[in-house]
Structure 1
Amino acid sequence: MAIKVHGNPLSPAAQRVLLCLAEKDLEYEFVYVDLATGQQKKEPFISINVPAFEDGDLKLFESRAITKYIAHAYADKGTPLINHEDLKKMAIIGVWLEVEAQRFDAAGHKLSFEILVKPIKGWTTDEALVEQLQAQLTTVLDVYEKRLAQSKYLGGDDFSLADLHHVPIVNNLLKTKVKALFEERPHVWAWCEDILARPAWKKVLEGVKF
């Protein structure tokens, strides 16, 4: 099997890669990495970061770089996640890919850690930070509400990589009190329900144990 993913199935970054592979209906080997024991530090290839990805002799890390590679390299497989034929549409998708990485994830990932992961581990949540991050996320979701009032998905009328990158963190946040921020915005909420209901995401969750 040419494709191999090294990671932990509970990691949002790993889930992002697995979701992309599922949307593309690609077969792969998943190599479990126990982050708690520092296993990744013992492996030369994955010592820098996980998830790590192999496709033949190609080795990559950083989940967004991996998903972009998959979307381009396997453009003819499964769900189209980019638009090779229309550069304007591809440019729009590119904008929202940047918004997710620089704005949404900047607040959402930290919120997920503070109010979902820390309690599970028995650590104390930084409530002051949570309040600050919620304010940041509110600003981002206001922008999303305006965008999603104009199109079904962030990149246009079709599900794309821009939407896919949000799925793991959105899934986590909707298990917390932050869910209210999404519910208060009807277009954002409809988008959340849509992207979380995708068969590919359900397939990923089958292998995740909380």
Structure 2
Amino acid sequence: MGSVNVYGPTLSTAVSRVLACLIEKEVQFQLINVDMSKEHHKKPDFLKIQPFGQVPAFQDENIFLFESRAICRYVTEKYAEQGNKALYGTNLLERASIDQWLEAEGQSFNPPSSTLVFQLAFAPRMKLKQDPAVIAQSEEKLGKVLDVYERRLGESKFLAGDEFTLADLSHLPNTQYLVHNTDRSEMFASRKNVSRWWEEISGRASWKKVVEMQKNPTPA
């Protein structure tokens, strides 16, 4: 089996999404840190594999990919017969359900949650001014999305059905920051079904390993 490389810092939400997927699928990989503070992601060699100068970048032998959700889909397809075989469904209907909730994550959940993560968790560390209006607007949008999730998770154990899938995994990075690194954890705790779901998915061994990697990041 060839070498799988993931380029990017573990603290990146997109990088940690890919790492969780690889661990779920029991794919051996090498994590290559990209020091964003030194603008390593803007250097010509890196731009050859990630043209937008962002993270993650992903290499599987002679294949290069970017965009974390696309990488996760690729990993689950190529390594379908190992690790968690239900991660991207086992039939057409299951996969369609996973895809629709992945789209919901990318289009509805991610924009406001990413904004809140930046404003509440990262801006203070970077000594940047927070924008109260943006925070309030994003909190309102995220609350509406979580209300939809609350209803859905009252009908099924996980978003796409009764198995943990990419649809759930994709929510782990941003929610981790909001629950543990901001004062907005009540947005999840106050919704019974969402709270139960979060406890379940964040307790998976794969995600616990990613969190440990974030605490002990790879040196640049």
TM category (shorter chain) comes to over 0.9
Residue 12 of structure 1 contacts residue 169 of structure 1 at CA under 8 Å; is this kept in 2?
yes
Q: Find the aligned partners of 1:193 and 1:60 in 2 and give their Cα distance.
A: 31
**Which segments of 5 or more consecutive residues in structure 1 lack a partner in the other structure?**
none
Match of 2:40 in 1: 39
| 1:16 counterpart letter in structure 2 | R
Residues 99-152 of structure 1 deviation map (CA, whole Å, 9 limit, x = unaligned):
000000011011100001001111111111100000000100000000000001
**Which segments of 5 or more consecutive residues in structure 2 lack a partner in the other structure?**
none
Residue 40 of structure 1 contacts residue 47 of structure 1 at CA under 8 Å; is this kept in 2?
no
Match of 1:131 in 2: 136
Q: TM-score, normalised by structure 2?
A: 0.92
Q: Find the aligned partners of 2:92 and 2:111 in 1 and give their Cα distance.
A: 27
Matches within 5 A, 1:62-81: 62-80=67-85, 81=87
Matches within 5 A, 1:148-187: 148-175=153-180, 176-187=182-193
Q: Find the aligned partners of 1:159 and 1:11 in 2 and give their Cα distance.
A: 22
Give how far 1:179 is off.
Answer: 0.9
Q: TM-score, normalised by structure 1?
A: 0.96
Q: Name the SS of the counterpart of 1:30 in structure 2.
A: strand
Give how far 1:47 is off.
Answer: 4.6
Q: Find the aligned partners of 1:207 and 1:90 in 2 and give their Cα distance.
A: 30
Count of aligned positions: 209
Q: Find the aligned partners of 2:113 and 2:155 in 1 and give their Cα distance.
A: 23
| 2:189 counterpart letter in structure 1 | E
Q: Find the aligned partners of 1:103 and 1:46 in 2 and give their Cα distance.
A: 25
Q: Find the aligned partners of 2:18 and 2:5 in 1 and give their Cα distance.
A: 11
Give how far 1:172 is off.
Answer: 0.4
Residue 150 of structure 2 contacts residue 191 of structure 2 at CA under 8 Å; is this kept in 1?
yes
Identity, % of aligned positions: 40
| 2:132 counterpart letter in structure 1 | E
The equivalent position to 1:208 in structure 2, one of 183, 202, 214, is 214
Q: Name the SS of the counterpart of 2:102 in structure 1.
A: helix
Residues 144-175 of structure 1 deviation map (CA, whole Å, 9 limit, x = unaligned):
00000000100100000000000010100102
Match of 1:120 in 2: 125
Give how far 1:201 is off.
Answer: 0.7
Give how far 1:183 is off.
Answer: 1.1
Residue 6 of structure 1 contacts residue 31 of structure 1 at CA under 8 Å; is this kept in 2?
yes
